[in-house]
Structure 1
Amino acid sequence: MAETTLTGTTVAEVLAELAELEDPKTREVNERHGDDHGVHLSKLRALAKRLKTQQDLGWQLWQTGDTAARLLAILICRPKAFERDQLDAMLRQARGPKVHDWLVNYVVKKSPHCEELRRAWFADPDPVVASAGWALTTDRVAAKPEGLDLTRLLDMIEAQMKDAPDRLQWAMNHCLAQIGIEHAEHRARAIDIGERLAVLKDYPTSAGCTSPYAPAWIAEMVRRQHDR
């Protein structure tokens, strides 16, 4: 029997509702991006809004291993309630891009363990885990760069990004662009690295969207800053 939460909602009931929200076309689109679930995110968010914050239920949903359940768990959990080792284990279990991204951005960034985990993950030999460390570093580059060695970050990007696995490469490229956007003294070198490595130069970009190619990304965001 599924454990009942304080609100009376059980894991089994939530999983049944998620199953009813499953849409084959949504699953097909998601699977092309590496995410094995078929629940439209707007419906997932609506369900989370109805359930409200429920740490115990969220933890139980996470432990099911189901991708949609884990996304819902992230939306209804209490980020500051997790211990450091819990978050580390959860990230290592989160192999799908969307679960990984939401866990880092919606939970870890709000955790008191964020900086400790950033440093640990940044140096992790697992490229998926390391990509989380780079994502958190990119956030610091923009919001709290004090104490970061931006020259060393650029050295690492220059030496490693070209041959990095996709998820790690994307995270390093974002960090490269953020350094160029936020720190004028490093902008020329960031652009030069981007041009020489040409990572994501040919990435398909929809009309009206900014290319992830770092030199183009930097140029566009700096232009917007000047136009303010």
Structure 2
Amino acid sequence: MRLARKVAIVTGAARGIGLAIARRFAEEGACVVAADLHVEDWPAGQLTPFLHDVTDEKSWATLVDETTTLFGRLDILVNNAGIISHNTIEAETMESWQREIDVNQTAVWIGMRAVVPAMRRGGSGSIVNVSSTWGLVAVPSAIAYHASKAAVVNMSRCGAVSFAKDRIRVNALHPGLTLTEMVRAQSEEITGRVVAMTPLGRGCEPREVANGALFLASDEASFVTGTSLIVDGGYTAQ
């Protein structure tokens, strides 16, 4: 039970990577508050669902307050919620750009800011910010996604050096192409191209990403902060 007696918040947890992380944490003994806008899709299980808008500061304040009231502490945050569009630099619109930046980047900052006081009171904490391999390398599209996920890397480093004195660790997690609803909704051409460029020759299962998040959140990573864990089948090694 690698997360026994730990309390975790996971955003974007109704499906995909977020749901896999929430379930994996629960398997390892954590009390998990699974936050998402899509609670109508919620599967049955051991998780505590919470209707949450990651772009809204008041929603974050309520989420943290209710989590600490219910469980008495807060040890882990996984900033996982994210969206993607495949717009090129020339085709991107201001509306689409701003929405993606709000969800993928600004929400990570709001989330870190919201949970740190509770983690300080508990004497330690772990924050896992989910970026992407496309926060490290690029293709000729998805400009807002590239920009927002790349920002998460340095935001995580900033958090790591800012909160180290409080024994709060902050790391970035970089999934490769992961077989989730979001990926299945994109064109088969895009998916096939990324799989063809992946040395292991397949997409990643959500549970494989969840195992990476589990390590970063657990005490096994007690001396790991300010770094990036890449779970991509070798995609970025080329």
* TM-score normalised per structure 2: 0.29
Structure richer in helix, relative to its length: 1
**Structure possessing the higher radius of gyration over alpha carbons:** 1
- Higher relative contact order at CA 8 Å, sep ≥6: structure 1 or structure 2? 2
Structure richer in strand, relative to its length: 2
* TM-score normalised per structure 1: 0.30
